[in-house]
Amino acid sequence: MIAKTTTTTHLAQMLAQARAATDALFGLVRPGAFHDRPVPERHRTIFYFGHLEAFDWNLVSHAAGVPSFHPEFDQLFAFGIDPEPGQSPQDRRSDWPERAEVQRYNLRVRQAIDDLSNQVSEQVLSVALEHRLMHAETFAYLLHQLSATQKDIPLVAPFPPCPTPVRTVIEIPGGAVTLGQRRAPLDGQYQFGWDNEFDGHEVSVSAYAMTKYKVTNGEYLEFVRAGAKPPHFWTWGEGQWWWRAMSGEVPLPMDWPVYVTHEEASAFAAWTGKRLPTEAEFHRAAYGTPDGEEERSYPWGDDVPDTRRGNFNGNRWDPIPVTATPLGDSAFGISQLVGNGWEWTATVFQPFPGFQPLSFYPGYSARFFDGDHYVLKGASSRTDAGLLRRSFRNWFRPNYPYIYAGFRCVED
């Protein structure tokens, strides 16, 4: 069982690093804004501050069979929300405890979890770790919506100028793709996956053509000039378009990917006589190869992710030009399939054949199999490198405008 102990220790170390990362993010919110609600369809910031620890504690205390020391907070901070539009929460500031009280709970929870980490499975620790990493990204979306007076964002050097993108369409021959991952990998190594990533299976894809780059702000501007509504991230002022960056508005960068909802992406695709790719077509473009070799781990091959390959892992707050990272191109020559913004697919979020919910968290994916969430693939600037595995699936409502998500078009 030495291997298990090693993995558990490694996961505990990664959890400690992830805690430091989320602590740093919460540290960017000014104290006076901690009980504000940056996005109407989500909780107040104070909820997320308590949620990461309450989630871990609910998970670990149940797995280890130990009693709670604060059932009220365990429940108050247990679950996030994803209401239908127009059904925003109505709670008041006074319904929530003060930050210092939540901080005391958090510290006690961390100590208790660290004392128990050798008594729970790798799977439980992985769920805690990945849940926190995903919240580090979704918390950035909330932070983005706070005004400059509510947060202190460290400056990042601007990205150097890049070649102007030239609209290019790449033909991709039909072929087989692997979706998801198998429950028992051939090498016998433990590899974590969420319930929605199983079972791995093959599907075949017919030939299609896909744009080399994500749709840019510049391309989408033509659509807006033709009468479409501007995306949430754009504002108009002083006779020009601006982009709402993390630290404030900048003149609309024409060579950055446009961030839009699924509805906007679909409308743009239809306007150009094209459509959004399916999840399988995304996989084929990203991980397939022209000569039919084994599918890659990442678009660029099997090398571990680094910043030359794409804009991910929290190195930057905002996007970079779509032409900025040619070293991350896929075998078919398609750019930035992983990083610089998630990509909407035409695929409704549904279970793969053989789906089994996690026994200790049955609703993780299943409560979103409602036909009103779409699969996103790839990654954004704020996606942790640990979440870049091929089988990872993201999903959101088609009209939720706050996420770092763009798209590209395909045609038959």
- The size of the chain, in residues, is 412
Residue 153: both structure tokens together: 């964002």
The minimum distance between CB 65 and Fe ion, in angstroms, equals 23
Q: What string of DSSP letters covers 191-244?
A: ----GGG-S-EEEEE--EEEESSPPBHHHHHHHHHTTPPPPTTEEEETTEEEEE
By beta-carbon proximity to Fe ion, the closer residue of 80 and 362 is 80
The residue range among 80-88, 91-99, 174-182, 337-345 that interacts with Fe ion, by the rule CB under 5 A, is: 80-88
From CA 219, how far away is CA 225, in angstroms rounded?
10
By beta-carbon proximity to Fe ion, the closer residue of 58 and 335 is 58
By beta-carbon proximity to Fe ion, the closer residue of 80 and 333 is 80
The residue range among 22-30, 74-82, 313-321, 391-399 that interacts with Fe ion, by the rule CB under 5 A, is: 74-82
- Measured at CB, which residue is nearest to Fe ion? 80
The residue range among 79-87, 141-149, 291-299, 404-412 that interacts with Fe ion, by the rule CB under 5 A, is: 79-87
From CA 136, how far away is CA 130, in angstroms rounded?
10
The minimum distance between CB 80 and Fe ion, in angstroms, equals 5
Strands lying side by side in the sheet with 169-172: 169-172, 208-211, 410-411
* Number of CB atoms found within 10 A of residue 343's CB: 28
By beta-carbon proximity to Fe ion, the closer residue of 332 and 361 is 361
The minimum distance between CB 316 and Fe ion, in angstroms, equals 24
The minimum distance between CB 139 and Fe ion, in angstroms, equals 10
Q: What are phi and psi of 205, to 5 degrees?
A: -120, 135
Q: Which amino acid is at 194?
A: W
From CA 93, how far away is CA 73, in angstroms rounded?
16
The minimum distance between CB 387 and Fe ion, in angstroms, equals 14
The minimum distance between CB 129 and Fe ion, in angstroms, equals 13
The residue range among 75-83, 168-176, 323-331, 359-367 that interacts with Fe ion, by the rule CB under 5 A, is: 75-83
The H or E element containing residue 349 is none
Contact status, residue 13 vs residue 5, Cβ threshold 8 Å: no
Beta-strand pair 410-411/240-245: unpaired
By beta-carbon proximity to Fe ion, the closer residue of 42 and 244 is 42
By beta-carbon proximity to Fe ion, the closer residue of 42 and 316 is 42
From CA 326, how far away is CA 245, in angstroms rounded?
24
The minimum distance between CB 48 and Fe ion, in angstroms, equals 8
80, 174, 301, 353: which one binds Fe ion (CB under 5 A)? 80
The minimum distance between CB 74 and Fe ion, in angstroms, equals 14
Task: Determine if the peptide bond prior to 115 is cis (ω within 30°).
Answer: no
By beta-carbon proximity to Fe ion, the closer residue of 126 and 266 is 126
The minimum distance between CB 131 and Fe ion, in angstroms, equals 6
By beta-carbon proximity to Fe ion, the closer residue of 80 and 251 is 80
Contacts 24+ apart (CB under 8 A), 267-272: 267/223, 267/228, 268/215, 268/220, 268/223, 268/228, 268/407, 268/409, 269/407, 269/409, 271/223, 271/226, 271/228, 272/409
Size of the site for Fe ion (CB under 5 A): 1
By beta-carbon proximity to Fe ion, the closer residue of 58 and 278 is 58
One character per residue 85-104, x = contact with Fe ion (rule: CB under 5 A)? --------------------
* Number of CB atoms found within 10 A of residue 240's CB: 9
Q: Is residue 363 near Fe ion by the rule CB under 5 A?
A: no
What's the DSSP call for residue 30?
Answer: -
By beta-carbon proximity to Fe ion, the closer residue of 80 and 163 is 80
The residue range among 10-18, 73-81, 83-91, 320-328 that interacts with Fe ion, by the rule CB under 5 A, is: 73-81
SS3 33: helix
The residue range among 72-80, 264-272, 293-301, 317-325 that interacts with Fe ion, by the rule CB under 5 A, is: 72-80
The minimum distance between CB 133 and Fe ion, in angstroms, equals 11
Residues in contact with Fe ion by CB under 5 A are 80
